[in-house]
Amino acid sequence: MKKYSILFFTVFAFVSLYAQSTKEQDAIRKVIELETRYYFEGNYDKWAGTWAHEPTDYAIFTSPTGNSEAIGWDSISAGAKPNMKNVPLVSAEEVAANYKKYDYQYKINGNMASVTFREGKGNLLTKALEKQNGEWKITGMTLVNSTDFKFRDGYAALKSSVGKWKLVAGSYRTEPVQSGDNISDMLSNDYDIHETMYGIQFTSTSTYTTGGRRSSNTATEDFIADNNRNEIKYFDFEKGANTDVTTSTGSASFSEDGKFMVKGMYADKPAAVQFENIYTTNSDGSVHHEGRSYDKDGKLTNDPGEIIDSVRPLPIGFWKGSGLSLMLDLLATILSQGRSTGDVTRGGSESGVSQVFICIKPDNGPQTEAIIKNILDYTKSSRTEGEGGEILYPGENTLRTRKKSLEEGIWVDDKIWEKVQQL
């Protein structure tokens, strides 16, 4: 009977602590969100009511264009009060896009708390709070305008590509794959990338065949930095061989792996992507170019670019796969107390993901080795796609590379090694 009583008490205590922790987190989040709301409503008294009013209060902001800091409530108040009188009207849509808070991470210790979260398009904030008379009050905040830093890094990378580039022969491909008599084959494309008084301009001359006929065209593409929205605006003016002129507008950005991506939108449906060009530059002055085109109707497709743009992939296994995905998301997030799929998605980049490692140590006897060999042999007995092909299990090529590196040393590109030696 005592064992059951102890077990019941332990479970009850755990549930009570969890409920108390959730209650505190909810109260903290409410104060943080009310502080933002009152500020943009211009309601100084209610805004001030969310702060601790201590001489140790602080507010620190940092961005590529400057930094500011205020130490002590008097300093914070003196700066905020006149600013709030001049706060421009912010619509509910703008607040939702630029100031929505997510990905909260809490550390609560008695009457003190530290909270890290993201806001809007990904800016990182940390707030310190203190409980006064049973209510949480803000005692410090640090804001890093990380979206502005990323935008400026991207535009700096675009400026660094200024120069003359040539398309790698055979690298240009389009999706969906063309068919019929109007198949185009890109023969050459020369790019001249230069700065203008407005931004960066691509001038390109391309030669291609369509239905066996050789043609050429010129295009002028302008990329202009919109510092207010942290976006690179795209404008295209293209003249074909038959003097037809087409124009496009859109946006540009750099992916996590360094690819330059241009999206053009439909003129009659600005929210729909018409095409996507992806550029990858090489150290020898060459460039790979991929093109993708989409319809406006959201039809079911196997085009990866279109799927990414719609953010509506079909789950593997349909409803069963969707259920399995939800279960794994719950397990990984709860066990690691980390970020869920929704948190990662809203963050704008696939980083800071939750991970759970389950280690299993089987009996490493002869029977285990025989089982592994039997499975791998069966896998490798599959028919290859082409003559001379090879079936590899996941990680096999990495093991080969590691073995080769241990025996012969790590392979390094000669040109890169020369640059390293010149440092």
Determine the Cα angle at 202 with ends 172 and 257, to 5°: 55
pLDDT at position 157, please? 83
Would you say the C-alpha torsion 7, 12, 17, 19 has a positive or negative sign?
positive
pLDDT at position 298, please? 44
pLDDT at position 239, please? 64
Whether the per-residue pLDDT at 183 is higher than 80: the answer is no
Whether the per-residue pLDDT at 299 is higher than 60: the answer is no
Average pLDDT rounded to a whole number, residues 144-151: 84
pLDDT at position 240, please? 58
pLDDT at position 324, please? 78
pLDDT at position 56, please? 94
Adjacent-strand bridge partners of 279: 260, 289
pLDDT at position 7, please? 41
78-109: pLDDT as tens digits: 988 888 877 776 666 676 667 888 889 999 99
Q: What are the counts of helices (DSSP H) followed by strands (DSSP E) for the chain?
A: 11, 16
Sheet holding 135-144, edge to edge: 66-71, 58-63, 135-144, 123-132, 112-119, 101-109
**CA distances from residue 90 to 40, 96, 99, 120, 400 in whole angstroms, order as listed:** 7, 10, 11, 14, 58
Q: Is the pTM here over 0.85, yes or no?
A: no
pLDDT at position 175, please? 60
pLDDT at position 305, please? 56
Whether the per-residue pLDDT at 11 is higher than 60: the answer is no
Q: Could you tell me the pLDDT band of residue 332, with boundaries at 50, 70 and 90?
A: confident
Q: Which of the two residues, 292 and 16, has the higher pLDDT score? A: 292
Q: Could you tell me the pLDDT band of residue 8, with boundaries at 50, 70 and 90?
A: very low
pLDDT at position 130, please? 96
What are the structural domain ranges in the chain?
Answer: 11-144, 151-310, 319-359, 366-421
Mean pLDDT of the chain: 78
Residue 218 sits at φ, ψ, to 5 deg, of: -125, 150
Domain 11-144, CATH: 3.10.450.50
48-65: pLDDT as tens digits: 999 999 999 999 999 888
Average pLDDT rounded to a whole number, residues 197-203: 88
Average pLDDT rounded to a whole number, residues 106-132: 91
Which among 102, 101, 144 has a CA at the least distance from the CA of 343? 102
Lowest mean pLDDT among 98-102, 252-256, 307-311: 307-311
pLDDT at position 17, please? 42
Q: Give the whole-number percent of the chain exceeding pLDDT 70.
A: 77
Lowest mean pLDDT among 23-37, 60-74, 349-363: 349-363
Helix (H) or strand (E) holding 96: helix 92-98
Lowest mean pLDDT among 11-15, 173-177, 286-290, 398-402: 11-15
pLDDT at position 174, please? 62
Q: Which of the two residues, 369 and 322, has the higher pLDDT score? A: 369
- In the DSSP assignment, the letter for residue 87 is P
Which among 4, 72, 256 has a CA at the least distance from the CA of 153? 256
pLDDT at position 4, please? 45
Average pLDDT rounded to a whole number, residues 398-412: 87
How many Å apart are CA 94 and CA 47, to the nearest integer?
A: 19
Q: Could you tell me the pLDDT band of residue 6, with boundaries at 50, 70 and 90?
A: very low
